[in-house]
Structure 1
């Protein structure tokens, strides 16, 4: 394993935690573990950081298993969490059981049902923080999707105070996707591939291609797009259009 890669990822997660005040003292952090590369890296990093970080916190991983996941996924995640020494819970939910008559199942409904299960578990078990595995590319794609489809300037914030007692955080917000892919590939974590039959060609894929075109594949340009979200010149923007 490359020490430089591990150092880069740890440094950027630490920076995100400190700059955006993602974790408070003695927080109980619930990590959303989908089984994809992003959530695996998030679990691996936060669990190690929790042992020596200046701000004390604990972690617990939650995986919502369902009929749309490959059967070997939950056992593989169980094995990995035990190997890493991370407390975990596997919830089994029927995601299609609440569909209305004639309603088609899709990515949006799947994500919403899994998010509902995550929130319910967090609130019932008094977790102060939910950690999600969204990286910088996810945030930029959401920005472009909101601009083009909703006509609004909005992305996914590194920290969202969901209620007075519960916040959602995105510690990977300063990390670009290709760094995650390279690291996870090098680590060779044995997790079944998730070939979702409902994925298809989505707006997010279109936005991802647009982000790559705008940044010309350069990390610095992509970072500048992200940086612009916190460097808004309101006096140089038009007012609202009625």
Structure 2
């Protein structure tokens, strides 16, 4: 099939090869595939399974903690891993962002009940302060503070709960947007960490991204076909984020040249990352234990504890 859209009356590529007559409901231009609902879901799960295998992310004997946000990517990932037979639990970090957090938490809880899997919930407000309060009390950008908090608690709780792996729902659009931004700035510190698997070391749990070769649209279609209800609006703090602008730019290129995102990301992982990995061995930072909380850190005091200090200072000044 040629072109970039699904033509009326097109038959499913796989059904056609089996001499069946099911009509296609999805066309994937960069894969040149027209698929019916059944074969799309099978294709999606096989692709995730292949990504897990190709990057040796984890095996059936390991416990996987899925970072759940209430968005389509994390819920779809949890559903797929469940269908593939992996031992999973979810972890939802309540950031205290008013209606957004309430809605996303409710959807996460509903989904965990639907697939009969445990959802572990951590309240940032109870631990330190809500993201809106952190935003008011410190000079740290809300998105940066949010990332610090989430990384800290995901790693800490994964260890406490006995998990070997943390799986996040980062998709191809997410990865290419970050890669594009890091390449524009030639930020080697971040480029050398942009790989689908971050290995466990010195107190850091292994982190993996099984959806790294799946586009946002493909995830949305999977959610639609499997009746997964997810939060459909963005976090209020994400407005104006450069990553969203990068996604828009790359999507325009993808529309004209299907497969660009996958090629950009895959070629980086295959050709550039190994070079950066060798560089990393020579320039690697020493991992210490934070003097305040005992968690792994690249500094004497970890980013989370420094953030907590700023919150305390802000509360004192107020």
TM-score (norm 2): 0.65
1:109 equivalent in alignment to 2:145: yes
Aligned counterparts of 2:176 and 2:186: Cα–Cα separation in 1: 15
Report matched runs for 1:184-203 at 5 Å. 184-203=223-242
Q: Which residue of 2 aligns with 1:182?
A: 221
* 2:182 corresponds to 1:146: yes
Aligned CA distance change for structure 1 residues 78 and 217 (closer, same or farther; 3 Å): farther
Counterpart CA distance in 1 for 2:269 and 2:234 is 35
Question: Secondary structure, in 3 states, of the residue corresponding to 1:229?
Answer: helix
Q: Which residue of 1 aligns with 2:210?
A: 171
Higher helix fraction (1 or 2): 2
Distance 1:211 1:161, change over 3 A: same
> Offset of 1:227 from its aligned partner?
2.3
Q: Deviations over 1:68-96 (max 9, x none)?
A: 13324323321221111112212211234
Deviation larger for 210-219 or 40-49: 210-219
Aligned-pair CA distance for 1:171: 0.6
2:122 matched residue in structure 1: 91
Normalised TM-score (structure 1): 0.83
Distance across 2 between alignment mates of 1:233 and 1:83: 41
Instruction: With a CA cutoff of 8 Å and minimum separation of 6, indicate the structure with the bigger relative contact order.
Output: 1
State the alpha-carbon separation in 1 of the partners of residues 43 and 54 from structure 2: 16
- Preserved contact between residue 147 and residue 154 of structure 1 (Cα < 8 Å): no
Unpaired segments of 5 or more residues in structure 2? 1-35, 274-278, 280-318
Partner of 1:58: 87
Quote the offset at 1:40 in angstroms: 0.7
1:8 to 43, 59, 67: 43
- 8 Å CA contact 1:146–1:155 kept in 2: the answer is no
Q: Give 2:104's match in structure 1, choosing from 63, 73, 83.
A: 73
The size of the alignment, in residue pairs, is 229
Q: 1:157 aligns with which of 195, 198, 205?
A: 195
Q: CA RMSD in A?
A: 2.6
Q: CA deviation at 1:154?
A: 4.6
Helix, strand or coil for the counterpart of 2:91? Answer: strand
- Greater Rg by CA: 2
Q: Quick one: which of 97, 107, 131 aligns to 2:167?
A: 131
Change (3 A) 1:217 1:33: farther
Q: Which residue of 1 aligns with 2:74?
A: 39
| 1:111-169 C-alpha deviation (Å, 9 max, x unpaired) | 22122111110111221100010111211111111111344455621111142672101
Q: Which moved more, 1:119-128 or 1:142-151?
A: 142-151
* 1:20 aligned residue (48, 55, 65): 55
